[in-house]
Amino acid sequence: MRTIVVVAIGWVLSGAFVLASGYLGKSRITGAIIFIAAWLIFCVVDYSNGVKAGYAAMDELGIHILIFTLPVIGAWVAARFLH
């Protein structure tokens, strides 16, 4: 359940970054790139915390591949197709 919530938050944030960059006069691609960098940092920290908490590194890696890629795809789609 936590994975679904984190991915949903990522989708909302990706849209917010892309739309905010458009309103601030920057390109939507710039907003997507900034989101991807921030999301990568979040995912690395979350992965590290999961491994330190005792979860298997490979299990965490599989989950975090989804947690990272699904919102990144959302940011790319928002940057390309929102007007």
State yes or no: pLDDT of 82 exceeds 90.
no
Burial of 7 (0-12, 13-18, 19+ CB in 10 A): middle
Structure tokens that stand for 63 in this block:
């989950």
| Amino acid identity for residue 75 in this structure | A
Rounded distance between C-alpha atoms, residue 63 and residue 70, angstroms: 11
State yes or no: pLDDT of 83 exceeds 80.
no
pLDDT tens-digit readout, 51-80: 999 999 999 999 999 999 999 999 999 999
Which position has the token pair 């890629």?
69
Angle at 46 between CA 45 and CA 47, to 5 degrees: 90
